[in-house]
Structure formats: structure tokens, C-alpha cells
Structure 1
């Protein structure tokens, strides 16, 4: 197994990174000076300064004093979901220690040997619910993305105790548990904006019946201007709850723009929230899931920890009847099985917003 830069034949980079489990961290740790050709993105996919604006920013919403100011805060949440699809929340109630611990656990997992991490890869993991990997869908991509990840689908505390890696299990579970209250507040506010005044058990299952937490690692990259950490996409979730570190690199496409991207600045203790495709479909297009992508970094390693709040795999998703009844709207989207929608997303490379076409009424 190659362990030094000189011993790698770069025609075999994909095998080293993907199949042997070294990930892009393995390449970065060897002190690469030049980006392997497998990671060079087409010009149209690169993030350039000509398309980035720095004088605009996604909304920042203060969640404190919810008991007294809930309706006003709720209006801000709904407005942000319509106009931006992204916003940051502060004073959300998740202890800062919980956020710091899961960031530390992310570094701890990825510092392990390739052999240890590869125990959780597609070929070796004892469960589909735990997956270590790199890029997005390597077998379908013309150019790979500069990212490694650990994906943990939550079923129960018992399964997590048995199958999640011990290096990060407790911290990931703690972040999941502590996010529950804020997730429910966000969804209650967003549902009120759709004429749904109460979230019963059926609605709760539909909106947040399953959850997945990812630990993402973006190692220092040679020639970051030639590649991406993550390509253009929107999430397939109901909501995504994202913890950034202080490095930055997340860019959001401005609504109704051809190619204008806004940086999401790291704010200490803040959580980034974004609308996913499932909520866009359920809101019949009122709330927007927005394209976003991640820039590679030439100076620093970077991490992020998203929680994807999803319908259950066997749920049918489509425009909510309350939404259609409120304004006499015609549905833009058909009813689709959520697991079919997710499979469609993961079969192909990142392609902006094209996945949503799978659910549109022709």
C-alpha cells in the first residue's frame, strides 16, 4: 500500500483515494504540490471571484426570548425561507460545548488510519446506515470533489452504540439530541407560514421522520482554484442544520440570479439553516431549496457537521393539502416516494437543482 508521494502512480489516484480508503486527506497529508487531474473541475464549475459578492449576506436570526417573541421570530424564519432558502440562527439554545465537542470528534475520526476509517466504507461497513467515503458519487463524476465524509443515519441509540465509530459516536448523538428542540421550533414556524397551525404525529413523521448526521472533512488543497470541496447542489432534506468551523468556504447562489454567489460567513456559535428539496416540494415552491457549494482551501483543513432532517424513506412527499387549499393553488409537484427521490439524487454527480425536476408535474 503506497505511503509516500513518490510511490503513488497518479494514474492510480482514484484507487488510492477511493478503494484503499485514504481519501483526499491521504493525498493532502503527503504534501501534494499539484492537484491530481482527477480533481480538476471544468471551468464552469469552479468558484471564481468574478461570481462572488461580498456586500450581501444571508439573514441572521436571533432565537432568544422565543416564548415572548416567537411570532416575530417565526415571520423572519418564513421570510428567509422564501427569499433566501438559507439563514443563520444565533442564541438557539444548543450548548456551545456540544458544538465544540462534535467538531473535535470530527477531527478525531479523520485523524485515524486509512485502515481504521475504511472499516466503515461501502465495501466493509456492516450496515448501510454508517458510511465512510470521499467525494460525492465517484463512479458517476467526471471530476472528483475535494472532500471526505462519514455519514451516520440515525435509527436508534442502541444501533448507534453498536455500529457508529466510537471516536465520534457520543458527540454526534449529543449534537443530534440537542438540536431536537430548535428543529421543532423552526418547523412549527415554517408550517404556520403554510397554513398548518399544528404539527400532529403524522406531520411530524413526514417532516422529520428520519435524520442523518454527516462529519465532513476538507483537507488543505493544492490549487484550490481548480477544484471544489462540494459541487453545486441543493439538499434533498426537509431542513439542513449545519455547524461550520471558523474557516469558511460555503457559498449560496442568490435567488433569481444567473451566477451570483454569496459567502456564508462563519459566526462563532451560530448554526446555518437551509431549506431542502422535500420542504420546497411540500410548500409547493413557496420555500426555496437553494444551490450551494463549498470552496476548497489552500491554507487550512476545514470541517463541517450537517444534520439532514428528512421524511421517512417510505413516506410519500408532495404539496401539502393545506398549502393548496389556502390559495386555491394547483400543485407544481407530484406525489413521490421519498426513497425514490433520494436514490435519484445519489445516482448522479452534483448538478445544481436538476434533481427537483424528478418531482415536477410535466
Structure 2
């Protein structure tokens, strides 16, 4: 289909191969959005239970916003971080030490990458990329999904600066690396605060512990273009992250929703208004607990379901850094957590096996964590 052509109705999309155009030819949902669609292709129409019903959104609550400026000197700041990780699984941080210009630069680099022609972006797709560490794609796992998600992404796994300079797209490489590098001190400080409550004291947070919690990192650049019928689809489906921590930069459009955390199943089942919008805060970074941290904390810290709405008026971007164990690490409840006699609720699992299990299927809420349960 030539640029500038429009598809006027869902009936006309029946003769247009949406999957071929968006997934295999590399146009993604950005390309679909720019065709002037007046209605959503059926391949993106989500089941009713997966759509975001605004009646299920709680507006009187918001996740904590924590000022990190005095973290090293005020124990109450560390307590606030740990409390948020236990009670919410999500929080935002300000005065985090990452220069605001770095945040602006990586957002602009995200737009710059996705503004490129499809043939340029497609060079980094699964079929064309010279390395598994760089991957451009759309939706989540198109081959496994009954309904596709309204999102394009570029995923960059960090091995070394040398490898990144050799293979990451030049349109966004330097800005992505700068965001990764300038976030490292903040990430270490967050992990030290969180692990102290797990009986891992700062003097014990050695290189081995650092490798276990943050031995590998991946940065994604996500693009959510304007969508016809946004109420019928989603940008990202219900899931929790497989990371130790996720460090998320969102723009000022908004659209991230997290599930209200309940500490018993009965309360969760009784509460149907369970989703909370994470409002954009200028200069803030969103932090969320991942499955690896939930497993290593033996359930003390909770990874929480979250999802992203599609938007009918604005394009949206986000840039998450996934802080992970290394692929060959074995994760399970930390010895420091269970040394007092606490019963382990998770087994020891090879982290790469856990991640492979996550990516074999469509988003399914918290389903992946069951893979590690005893």
C-alpha cells in the first residue's frame, strides 16, 4: 500500500494483509496509524475482559512519589522505598541523580528512531538483525497472541560499550547508553535500600550480589502511535516484568495503569476497581519491582500487574531499563531471607529458563511467576 493511502473502514481491511504489513514488512502499528485508518483492524481488537474499562480505575489513589535526594543520610527515605515495594510494587522517584537533559535526549532519540522508514527499522528485526542483542518489533509475541497489542518497540540488550557501538542503531545509540550509564548509581542505591530489609547489609552488597541483582540490563524504546478506537485495544497487555527492577521513563501523555496490590486472594477477588493510573510527573522516573526481585525476596516485595492504554489523540513513548540477573544465574529466595526459618515459596530456577518461559506466550498477568513456585 502506498504512503498516504487510507483505509476507510474495517470492511476494506479484510482485503489488506494487516499482519504482513505491520509485522513482516516492518511498518508496525506506526505504519498502520499513518494509513489513516478510521477503524481498528480486527487483529487488534481485544476480548472484552482485556480492554481497559475506566470504571475499574481508582482515581483517589496514586503510587508514592519519593524524593531520593537525602537517601544516603536519612533512613526514612530507604524505609519509604521498601514500604512502597511491599505495599504497591510501583513508585516514582524524583531528585534521582539522572540529569534531566539525559531524559529529554533519550525521549527525542526514541522519536528519531521510529521516524525512520520501515526498511531502515526492519534492518533490526528478528529476521535481519546481525545480533540477538538488538531487536525491532511490534506487539509482544505476534505468533502467540490471539489479539495484537498497539505498540512498536526497539529492544537493546547491553553487553559492552564496544558491542553497543558496533550494533545499536546510530539514531539512538548514544542517548540510550547515556541513560543506562547515568542511571547506574541510582539503581545501586535503590537496590541497597531494598536489600537491607532482606538482611543484606551494605557491606555485604559485594560484586557477587551486584551481579545477581543487576548483572545484565536491557533498554527498550517503546512507541504507541495514535489509535483509532483505542477503547477496543491495548498498548501493552496485563503482565508483570521478569526483571529485578524496571526503571521507566514515560512521557507526559500518560496511559500506564497498575493493579492495586492486595495481600490476600479473597480481597483481590472482591475488589473489581483494581487499576490505578500512574500520572506523569515531570522529571520523575517510575520504578517497579520485577518477578526476579519477588522471587529473591521470597514474596516480601511484589511484582505487580500493569498495562498500557492505547490513545486516540496523541502518540506516546516510554523508555524502560530492565535490570536483571545474568542469564546463567540461578535465582531463588536469598539465603539471608530464609536463614531465620522462613519457608521458601519459590524454587531455585535458571534465570534464562524463566525468561524463555515469559517470551513463549502472550501476556497473561502474573502467570509467569507460577513457573518458579514450589
Alignment of 1:280-291 (within 5 A): 280-291=294-305
Distance 1:286 1:59, change over 3 A: same
Task: Give 1:321 shift.
Answer: 0.6
1:150-184: CA deviations, max 9, x gaps? 00000000000000000000000000000000000
Q: Distance in 2 between matches of 1:5 and 1:17?
A: 15
Aligned residues: 359
Say if 1:134 and 1:149, in contact at 8 Å, map to a contact too.
yes
Task: Answer whether contact 1:316 1:337 (CA < 8 A) is retained.
Answer: yes
- Once the two structures are superposed, the pairs formed by residues 266-305 of structure 1 within 5 Å of their partners are 266-305=280-319
Q: Distance in 1 between matches of 2:15 and 2:354?
A: 36
Pairwise CA RMSD: 1.1
1:40 aligns with 2:54: no
Could you say what secondary structure the match of 2:220 adopts? strand
Aligned residue in 1 for 2:102: 98
Q: Is the 8 A contact 1:2 1:8 kept in 2?
A: no
Distance in 2 (alpha carbons) for counterparts of 1:55 and 1:193:
29
SS in 2 for 1:299: coil
**TM-score normalised per structure 1:** 0.97
SS of the residue aligned with 2:261?
Answer: coil
Can you give the 5+ residue segments of structure 2 that lack an aligned partner in the other structure? 263-267
Cα offset, 1:31, TM superposition: 1.3
The answer for the alignment partner of 1:344 in structure 2 is 357
Structure 2: distance between partners of 1:178 and 1:5:
43
- Alpha-carbon separation, structure 2, partners of 1:286 and 1:302: 33
Aligned with 1:314 (options 325, 328, 338): 328
Alignment-derived partner of residue 131 in structure 1: 135
* Stretch deviating more after TM superposition (179-188 or 71-80): 71-80
What's 1:178 paired with? 182
SS at match of 2:339: helix
1:69-84 equivalent positions in 2, closer than 5 A? 69=74, 71-84=75-88
* TM-score, normalising length: structure 2: 0.94
Q: Distance in 1 between matches of 2:143 and 2:17?
A: 15
Q: C-alpha offsets along residues 114-165 of structure 1, whole Å, 9 cap, x if unaligned?
A: 0000000000000000000000000000000000000000000000000000
**Can you give the 5+ residue segments of structure 1 that lack an aligned partner in the other structure?**
none
**Distance in 2 of aligned mates of 1:11 and 1:228:** 22
- Per the alignment, residue 373 of structure 2 pairs with 360
Q: How does 1:167-206 map to 2 (within 5 A)?
A: 167-197=171-201, 198-206=204-212
SS in 1 for 2:77: helix
1:160 pairs, out of 135, 159, 164, with: 164
Cα separation, 1, equivalents of 2:350 and 2:278: 32
Match of 2:57 among 52, 56, 62: 52
| Secondary structure of 1:16 counterpart | helix
C-alpha separation between the residues in 2 aligned to 1:94 and 1:156? 20
Task: Give the conservation status (yes or no) of the 8 Å contact 2:21–2:28.
Answer: yes
Partner of 1:149: 153
CA distance, structure 2, for counterparts of residue 67 and residue 233 of structure 1: 33
User: Does the C-alpha gap of structure 1 residues 176 and 168 become closer, same or farther in structure 2, counting only changes over 3 Å?
Assistant: same
Deviation at 1:200, TM superposition (A): 1.1
Question: 2:348: which partner in 1?
Answer: 335
Select which of 243, 246, 253 maps to 1:237. Answer: 243
Measured in 2, the distance between the counterparts of 1:180 and 1:67 equals 15
- Alpha-carbon distance in 1 for matches of 2:150, 2:25: 16
Please report how far the alpha carbon of residue 9 of structure 1 lies from its aligned counterpart in structure 2 after TM superposition: 5.4
CA 1:77–1:10 in 2, change beyond 3 Å: closer, same or farther?
farther
Q: Give the aligned partner of residue 265 of structure 2.
A: none
- With over 3 angstroms needed to count, the CA separation of the structure-2 counterparts of 1:271 and 1:220, relative to structure 1, is same
TM-aligned CA distance change 1:146 to 1:10, over 3 Å: farther
Matched with 1:251 is: 257
Instruction: Say which of 62, 87, 90 aligns to 1:86.
Output: 90
Aligned pair 1:121/2:135, yes or no? no
